[in-house]
Structure 1
Amino acid sequence: MQELIKIFQAMTVVHERFNEQAIRKEDAIKKGEMDSLEQVMKEESPLIQQLGKLENTRQHLIQQWMKEKGLVKENVTMEQLIPLFPEKDRADLQSWQERLMTEIHKLKDQNELNQQLLEDSLRFVNLSLDAMHPQNQFVSYSGEGEKDDDEGFEPGGRSLFDSKV
Structure 2
Amino acid sequence: MKSRRLRPAPVPALTALAALLAVAGCAPGDADVRVEPPPAPPAEVAKLCAALHGELPDRVAGLARSGTEPRSELTAAWGGPAIVLRCGIPKPAAMADPKQEGVHVNGVAWLLEELPDSAGGGFRFTTGMRLAYIQVYVDEAHAKDAGMLVGLSDAVARTVPEGVAAY
> What range is the shorter-chain TM-score in?
under 0.3
Q: Which has the higher strand share?
A: 2
Q: Name the structure where helix makes up a greater proportion of residues.
A: 1
Question: Larger C-alpha radius of gyration, 1 or 2?
Answer: 1
Structure 2-normalised TM-score?
Answer: 0.23
Q: TM-score, structure 1 length as denominator?
A: 0.23
